[in-house]
């Protein structure tokens, strides 16, 4: 079934699980870089996972994306992630940021230039993506829509304690985030913002 065939107003739990989680798993491949989009809690949930992958040798570069400044923060999402990564002991030479994007599509579009300057898009064959479970499908689809077609992706979900495929149905916050996300993906596909996929 294609994503465009789903109806946001008639989604059951099985539909949502297929839509957001089917086929989302880490293929354990090494990457040319680890890509981490920002969020209000990215430093808490996404960054440790990205650091672990870097320390395991899965990739030698980290790219943080996000230009939003959350209330109380003087730094953008990407700047905050970079600052905390340095605090983990990651060398600054291995850290790159994109700090003008305001949402997922812009995370991808604005990061393309940074990636090209990092190592040349033509030299990138695999990107390791780290984001929250509920967000992974949309981010992956955005990359598939706008990035060069030869690039492959390793999908590594961080544990946010609420939106994992085994958690979201039992968590009030997780359920709310997941329902909203499912509707958003269907809407974006029908508007042509994201490619349609067979799920």
pLDDT one-digit tens code per residue, 31-67? 999 999 999 999 999 999 999 999 999 999 999 999 9
Q: How far apart are CA 164 and CA 162, in angstroms?
A: 6
Chain centroid to Cα 170, Å, comes to: 23
pLDDT band per the 50, 70, 90 thresholds, residue 75: very high
pLDDT band per the 50, 70, 90 thresholds, residue 8: confident
- The residue written with tokens 């996000």 in the block is 66
pLDDT at 9 over 90: no
Angle formed at CA 118 by CA 77 and CA 193, multiple of 5 degrees = 60
Beta-bridge mates of residue 23: none
User: Helices 133-146 and 172-190 sit at what angle, rounded to 10 degrees?
Assistant: 20
| % of the chain surpassing 70 pLDDT | 100
Residues 6+ apart with CB under 8 A from 172: none
List alpha helices for 24-103, DSSP H: 42-55, 77-87
- The residue written with tokens 């989009």 in the block is 37
Chain centroid to Cα 44, Å, comes to: 15
Q: Mean pLDDT over residues 112-126, rounded?
A: 96
pLDDT at 156 over 90: yes
Q: What is the CA radius of gyration of the chain?
A: 16
pLDDT score of 95? 98
pLDDT score of 44? 94
145, burial (CB in 10 Å: exposed 0-12, middle 13-18, buried 19+): middle
pLDDT at 10 over 90: no
DSSP 66: -
pLDDT at 199 over 90: no
**Cβ atoms within 10 Å of 91's Cβ, excluding its own:** 9
Structure tokens at 160: 């946010």
Q: Mean pLDDT over residues 123-131, rounded?
A: 98
Do residues 77 and 67 lie in contact, with contact meaning Cβ atoms separated by under 8 Å?
yes
Do residues 81 and 43 lie in contact, with contact meaning Cβ atoms separated by under 8 Å?
yes
pLDDT score of 57? 98
């Amino acid at each position: 079934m294609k994503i465009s065939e789903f109806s946001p107003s008639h989604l059951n739990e099985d539909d949502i699980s297929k839509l957001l989680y089917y086929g989302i798993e880490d293929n354990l491949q090494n990457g040319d870089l680890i890509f981490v989009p920002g969020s209000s809690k990215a430093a808490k949930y996404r960054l440790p996972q990205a650091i672990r992958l870097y320390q395991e040798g899965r990739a030698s570069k980290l790219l943080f994306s996000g230009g939003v400044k959350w209330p109380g923060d003087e730094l953008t999402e990407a700047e905050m992630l970079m600052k905390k990564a340095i605090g983990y002991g990651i060398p600054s030479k291995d850290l790159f940021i994109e700090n003008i994007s305001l949402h997922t599509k812009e995370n991808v579009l604005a990061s393309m230039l940074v990636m090209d300057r990092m190592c040349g898009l033509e030299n990138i064959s695999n990107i390791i993506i780290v984001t929250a479970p509920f967000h992974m499908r949309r981010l992956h689809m955005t990359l598939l829509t706008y990035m060069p077609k030869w690039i492959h992706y390793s999908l590594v979900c961080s544990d946010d304690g609420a939106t994992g495929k085994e958690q979201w149905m039992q968590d009030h916050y997780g359920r709310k985030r997941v329902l909203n996300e499912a509707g958003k993906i269907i809407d974006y596909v029908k508007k042509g913002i994201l490619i349609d996929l067979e799920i």
